[in-house]
Amino acid sequence: MQTRIQELRKVNKLSQSELADALSVTRQTIISLEKGRYNASLGLAHKIAKYFGKAIEDVFIFENEK
């Protein structure tokens, strides 16, 4: 799954550490989300979207399953 987390973070001039602290997760979690190595739980996805004032679909790009 792809995300717009890095883009949104940079637009808001946040470091990975600052975003991690705001979301109560580790910096490694943010790195993994940005690189697509980790899929956020529904709860974390909601928290991230709410933090940026976006809908989940505006932050996370869901690929169609065949």
Could you read off the pLDDT of 7-61 as tens digits, one per residue?
Answer: 999 999 999 999 999 999 999 999 999 999 999 999 999 999 999 999 999 999 9
- When pLDDT is cut at 50, 70 and 90, the band that residue 62 belongs to is confident
Query: Residue 54 domain-assigned?
Result: yes
- The total number of structural domains that make up the chain: 1
For 2, phi then psi, to 5°, come to -95, 155
Q: What is the Cα 49 distance to its own chain's centre?
A: 7
Query: Residue 55 domain-assigned?
Result: yes
User: Which of 44, 41, 46 is closest to 56 using CA atoms?
Assistant: 46
Query: Residue 66 domain-assigned?
Result: no
Query: Residue 39 domain-assigned?
Result: yes
| pLDDT at site 63 | 76
| pLDDT at site 65 | 47
CA distances 2 to 45, 60, Å, are 12, 6
**Segments forming the whole domain that contains residue 11:** 2-61
